[in-house]
Amino acid sequence: MAHIHLEDVWLNYPIYNSHAQSLRSRIVSAATGGIARRARARILEIQALRGISLDLKDGDRLGLVGPNGSGKSTLLKVLAGLYPPSEGVFRRAGRTETLFELSLLDMDATGYENIRLLIALRGFGPEKSKSLIADIAEFSELDNFLDLPVRTYSAGMLARLGFSVATAIEPEILLVDEVLGAGDQYFLKKAGRRIEEISERSRILVLASHSLDMVRQFCNRCAVMRRGRILDEGPVQSVLSRYTA
């Protein structure tokens, strides 16, 4: 049984500029006893999430909407366990898959090699991976392209491959950030069916998107985010009608 629980989660995100990240600035500041340290560029800290509380259970398909920089992607990364919250409670149960960006592990490697890497990173042995590779190749419908280096792929093809891998072994929690939109109409329909299948078996989907149509299509709940907070959360229809009002 999949479950995500966030309680008053705050996330401070430090921004390191090239100055703060260089060894010289550290040595200089140590040698000058703090005089240079004052002049040193401060490490900027951004409050990316401010008091987020969420409770997602089996069958919840949550759409995250909001302007750029409102914290959608950061929230997804917290849900994925990539960013530890600075404060607050974060609990998650269930195998999680993410679809965050349109790049694979090794852009010079072929589609097949990337699939093998991605499967290995999920901890599957050679036998299981053979059948998985076949599944993924079939679902992505990339055919002979899988023998080419992935740097030759278009954004839509990367989205296809990413989605196919992420859903090949059915995840209990699927986190998707925008990228799915790069796929063409045909593949979006296909992805939609698979997401529906997944959610029919009562799993959790969280989708961040600027496309309200996609949110309407895939989600049953919706959260409006702005400046790191959730302003409005509830059934997708009522939230979106307030959002677009």
Does 90 bind another protein (CB under 8 A)? Our answer is: no
| DSSP state for residue 44 in the 8-state scheme | E
d(CA 147, CA 142): 9
Name which position in 1, 31, 68, 108 contacts another protein (CB under 8 A).
Answer: 108
Residue closer to another protein (CB basis): 82 or 134: 82
Binding mask 140-179 for another protein (x = CB under 8 A): ----------------------------------------
CB of 208 to another protein, least distance (A): 14
Q: 3-class SS at 202?
A: coil
Does 56 bind another protein (CB under 8 A)? Our answer is: no
Token pair in block for residue 192: 């939609």
Does 210 bind another protein (CB under 8 A)? Our answer is: no
CB 55 within 8 A of CB 6: yes
57: β partners: 3
d(CA 202, CA 236): 17
**From the CB of residue 7, how many other CB atoms can be counted at a distance below 10 Å?**
14
Amino acid 89 reads: V
Residues lying near another protein in the complex (CB under 8 A) are found at 10, 12-14, 16, 18, 21-24, 26, 42-43, 45, 47, 50-51, 80-84, 86, 96, 98, 100-101, 103-109, 113, 116-117, 120-121, 123-126, 224, 226-229, 231-232, 242, 245
